[in-house]
Structure 1
């Protein structure tokens, strides 16, 4: 495994991040334990979750599974750089009129306590805002984060689904308080979703914010089974999306066959090439899928291959404003 710093922090994380969204929803607890053990054994130390994961009507179940895995001991908790998120509705928090999406100080405190309880730990290394909330001031947000930092309940602040302007605003307000601010931004980025190249990725790179790519296989479309889905599988998205992208997926399949690697691993390796990228999130449903993804950090995509990928999956044309203005 290879490691890098998380943004401009001094925290080192693996260049693959284990995503746990399937745990409790599509992956049972026994298999989830196997996957997490195998991830640690392979050198993956970066685990990502969220308080809302677990399946419809079962928010928090994924964190509970991770907590029970930690409770087995054996240094599991000590070896993991743990990231979770808050923003959405958590029915068991009994928030009354405040039981809505958002980033209020009230919500941060209550939902952090809930996550720590479910995860069976006294802190998380990275506490992420799952979405932007422009109804809450940065004075309120950063003050709430300061309290949690001083209490030792979190190590660093991160964001997810922020626009470039939100990253800039967050860091500007943090600098006014002489604080580090965000160390990471979790953002959708894949060969089929290259819009972040316009604003978000350049902003993150300039601000020293490490990007964590979610859905780097675009909901399974780039995973290799979209054109010939496995029986009972729904991981390749809806048929309309497959039909829309069929020519691209067929060309991608041909490229992968000639390159001698799976479509999924090429797509993951491609995300790692951007200088702002810390790690793509891999979300294996089985231990076998995890083991297949481990070679990604060692795949080298040569110039001709990258040119063909650009032809198959055109980007926005570069960074803004050069991509659309002189």
Structure 2
């Protein structure tokens, strides 16, 4: 039986990976106490030696995008240095490394969805640290999958979707940015696609198509469009709201300044993933509907949606 190590088990993707990867082998799910990626590379490699996985799946990351602007050293330690240590260990042991990256590695310009071979140009400390992690993997570990995604959400953990549901019950007015475009990616979808890719790797390791792939649902929206769709669906499902979803105001990013620059264009072209592995990705609205239903029904691992 293959041993699969998951980092960041308490995060949105890490939580879902424990479900999706359970049928594929012996899982070793770790949190920050068990595998701290802010430690030295030597300590990280020692921790891996103790667990000796055949496959490492690394959703753990420094994701405090704004805080990274004033703490780039820590962001680099977790998102780049630690990833390099994991990659070197995986290369020595012949292990597969699955790692998650982000649309923030691009400069966010234009309107065309980003392809895997497009020039990178991160505009934030977070984006620079994630790109450095990608480069460390490509340098050290030939047997790797880098999955770039965007706007991750789920029933577990904190995210935009859950924040909007809470605010929709508390406020009669909301302003949401409408000039950043992308596709909300469900953590469950990311985990399920990861399981499908690992399943194919285990079946045909010799001919497996390693490399970098984009992973996001079809379609596109703004944060404003996302919020309106979500709260319209919540209202039609019976959730009592103070705000009328049609009254949510769209605003430019300049009206909501933050320390880190957000990409205006977070669109990801996922043709390579779909064609290489014969995968059909869903539309973004279906994932929002699924997580909303899970929250409204009170998912076993969370308290559902706070109600007034």
Q: After TM superposition, is the score higher than 0.5?
A: no
TM-score in terms of structure 1 length: 0.34
TM-score in terms of structure 2 length: 0.35
- Identify the structure with bigger relative contact order (alpha carbons < 8 Å, sequence gap 6+): 2
